[in-house]
Amino acid sequence: MTGITAETSALTAAARRAAATADRLTAGTDPGGGPPVFALPQAARFLAALTDARARQATAATDFARFYSDAGAALTDLGGALTAQEGTTVERLQALGGGL
């Protein structure tokens, strides 16, 4: 027999890990306020560049969090679909008199 075989407990564990990763990535995504004002123009430009880099990093972390959240949801859905399919298969085999 060919087909996809999956361990639903492994899917559930992977979904939990993906959700936990998404939560950790979401935890520190606030880039904070604007840069402080300094008398030296070079320092102000440097801090503005750092603030911009932090904002881009926060955006990337948010995107990663969304990816892991979606992955966790997809794995959860897959696990549920496989469990339902296994139940349907068992019922149909029992109806045919094969039993399990």
Q: What is the model's pLDDT at position 2?
A: 45
Q: What is the model's pLDDT at position 36?
A: 59
- pTM, two decimal places: 0.59
3-state secondary structure of 30: coil
Q: How far apart are CA 76 and CA 82, in angstroms?
A: 10
Q: What is the model's pLDDT at position 1?
A: 40
Residue ranges of domains in the chain: 10-26+55-100
Mean pLDDT by 10 residues, the chain (100 residues): 65 85 72 62 84 91 91 92 91 78
Q: What is the model's pLDDT at position 34?
A: 57
Q: What is the model's pLDDT at position 30?
A: 60
Residue for token digits 């750092």?
Answer: 50
Q: How far apart are CA 100 and CA 82, in angstroms?
A: 17
